[in-house]
């Protein structure tokens, strides 16, 4: 009688251990997916002072959404260009324009079409 109880208890413990291990593995897998889906975001405004902020820090190899909004009609900058990524977008006044790209490691420039107003992209 005593032995039977011990065996049943041992079996129960074994099943619980397997269930916990399986649950932990699922949780880790879920976390990995979330990490892969993660997007980094940043906002830049174009004002009378130029690009604000004038430098952005992004993580390499993580998809990024950078939203530019032009808040001034003064000056020449009606668009933003990131030559290194072959990206060029019009910036209608007071309209948010989101640029999606995956940054590579390094330092890059975003600028108006004539390159008078500049901002720096620092990717680490
Ligand atoms: Cu310009």
Q: Distance between CA atoms of 23 and 21, rounded to whole angstroms? A: 5
Q: What is the CATH number of the domain that holds 50?
A: 2.60.40.420
57 and 32 both lie in a single domain: no
Q: Distance between CA atoms of 68 and 50, rounded to whole angstroms? A: 12
78 and 30 both lie in a single domain: no
118 and 82 both lie in a single domain: yes
pLDDT of residue 9: 54
Q: 111: domain range?
A: 40-123
Q: How far is the CA of 113 from the centre of ligand 1 (A)?
A: 6
114 and 54 both lie in a single domain: yes
30 and 18 both lie in a single domain: yes
Q: How far is the CA of 80 from the centre of ligand 1 (A)?
A: 9
The full length of the chain comes to 124
Distance of CA 69 to the CA centre of its chain: 19
User: Which 8-state DSSP code applies to residue 62?
Assistant: S
44 and 101 both lie in a single domain: yes
Q: Distance between CA atoms of 100 and 118, rounded to whole angstroms? A: 19
70 and 87 both lie in a single domain: yes
Peptide bond preceding 32 in cis form (omega within 30 of 0): no
pLDDT of residue 28: 52
pLDDT of residue 57: 98
- Which chain residues have CB less than 5 Å from ligand 1, an ion? 76-77, 112, 114, 116
Q: How far is the CA of 64 from the centre of ligand 1 (A)?
A: 24
Q: How far is the CA of 94 from the centre of ligand 1 (A)?
A: 17
Q: Distance between CA atoms of 118 and 112, rounded to whole angstroms? A: 7
21 and 82 both lie in a single domain: no
33 and 44 both lie in a single domain: no
pLDDT of residue 25: 59
Q: How many domains does the chain have?
A: 2
Q: How far is the CA of 22 from the centre of ligand 1 (A)?
A: 58
Per-residue pLDDT of the chain (124 residues; tens, 9 = 90+): 556 655 445 545 554 454 545 555 555 554 544 455 689 999 999 999 999 999 999 999 999 999 999 999 987 789 999 999 999 999 999 999 999 999 999 999 999 988 899 999 999 9
pLDDT of residue 12: 57
Q: How far is the CA of 41 from the centre of ligand 1 (A)?
A: 25
pLDDT of residue 11: 41
88 and 31 both lie in a single domain: no
52 and 113 both lie in a single domain: yes
């Amino acid at each position: 009688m005593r032995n039977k109880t011990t065996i049943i208890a041992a079996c129960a413990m074994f099943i619980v251990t397997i269930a916990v291990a399986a649950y932990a593995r699922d949780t880790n897998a879920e976390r990995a997916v979330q990490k892969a889906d993660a997007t980094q975001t940043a906002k830049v405004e174009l004002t009378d002072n130029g690009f604000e902020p004038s430098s952005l820090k992004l993580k390499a190899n993580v998809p990024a959404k950078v939203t530019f909004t032009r808040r001034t009609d003064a000056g020449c900058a009606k668009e933003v260009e990131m030559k290194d990524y072959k990206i060029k977008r019009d910036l209608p006044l007071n309209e948010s324009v989101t640029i999606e790209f995956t940054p590579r490691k390094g330092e890059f420039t975003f600028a108006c079409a004539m390159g008078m107003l500049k901002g720096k992209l620092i990717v680490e």
